[in-house]
């Protein structure tokens, strides 16, 4: 029986493994720790740069300028972090403003699983040779300027958002609510 199985497994008629199949990746705990640390650093760099830019602009008082700066700067900051740190970073949500922010499937799966949770823990794990780190994002005071109930937004902000994001789902939040997540991946080498 064992022999049969062995033969069956080495049979040349077996289809070649596809990219979607789980591949055994040699696990090296030290390399995994390095990749996880890199991904965490990427999250800190991306989140920190984005938030300080956003708060600076909100502080200046014009929500529309702030929103457009935020919309243009987020991808640029993400690209810079990717170059500097060799990680891929992004922000996502189960109620997206920009559909391009959906992110990888594992991020969407985490969001779906945790939407109803109170203060869910994030993620830090290695799957198939990829370090994945995710940090939940909650609504704080300044976020309400652009993510609060639609009727509470300023007229210019509402106009800007509805023109630029016709399918915007990211209003109607209240303080402390789970808005989404910031995530990063780094290859284990």
Query: Is residue 94 a contact point for ligand HEC (CB under 6 A)?
Result: no
Least Cα distance to 163 among 68, 74, 58 occurs for: 68
Angle, vertex CA 78, rays to CA 132 and CA 45, nearest 5: 70
Of 39 and 58, which CB lies nearer to ligand HEC in the complex structure? 58
Using CB under 6 A as the binding rule, whether residue 185 contacts ligand HEC is answered as no
Q: How far is the CB of 107 from ligand HEC (least distance, A)?
A: 11
Q: Which is nearer to ligand HEC, 50 or 188 (CB)?
A: 50
What is d(CA 11, CA 105) in angstroms, rounded to the nearest whole number? Answer: 33
Size of the site for ligand HEC (CB under 6 A): 27
d(CA 189, CA 174): 41
x-or-dash pattern for ligand HEC, window 126-145, by CB under 6 A? -----------x-xx-xx-x
Which residues contact residue 152 at a Cβ distance below 8 angstroms, ignoring those fewer than 6 apart? 144
Which is nearest to 66 in space by CA: 160, 187, 170, 149?
160
| N residues, the chain | 189
43 binds ligand HEC (CB under 6 A): no
Residues that bind ligand HEC (CB under 6 A): 51, 54, 58, 63, 66-67, 70-71, 74, 91-93, 96-98, 101, 137, 139-140, 142-143, 145-147, 170, 179-180
């Amino acid at each position: 029986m064992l022999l049969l199985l062995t033969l069956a497994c080495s049979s040349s008629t077996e289809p070649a493994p596809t990219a979607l199949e789980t591949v055994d990746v040699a696990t090296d705990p030290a390399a995994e720790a390095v990749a996880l640390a890199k991904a965490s650093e990427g999250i800190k760099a991306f989140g920190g740069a984005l938030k300080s830019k956003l708060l600076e602009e909100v502080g200046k008082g014009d929500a529309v300028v702030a929103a457009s700066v935020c919309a243009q700067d987020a991808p640029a900051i993400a690209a810079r972090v990717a170059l500097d740190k060799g990680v891929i970073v992004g922000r996502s949500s189960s109620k997206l403003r920009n559909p391009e922010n959906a992110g990888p499937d594992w991020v969407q799966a985490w969001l779906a699983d945790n939407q109803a949770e109170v203060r869910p823990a994030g993620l830090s794990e290695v799957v198939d040779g990829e370090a994945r780190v995710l940090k939940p994002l909650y609504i704080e005071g300044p976020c309400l300027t652009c993510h609060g109930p639609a009727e509470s937004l300023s007229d210019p902000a509402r106009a800007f958002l509805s023109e630029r994001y016709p399918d915007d789902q990211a209003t109607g939040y209240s303080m402390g609510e789970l808005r989404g997540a910031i995530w990063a991946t780094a290859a284990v080498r």
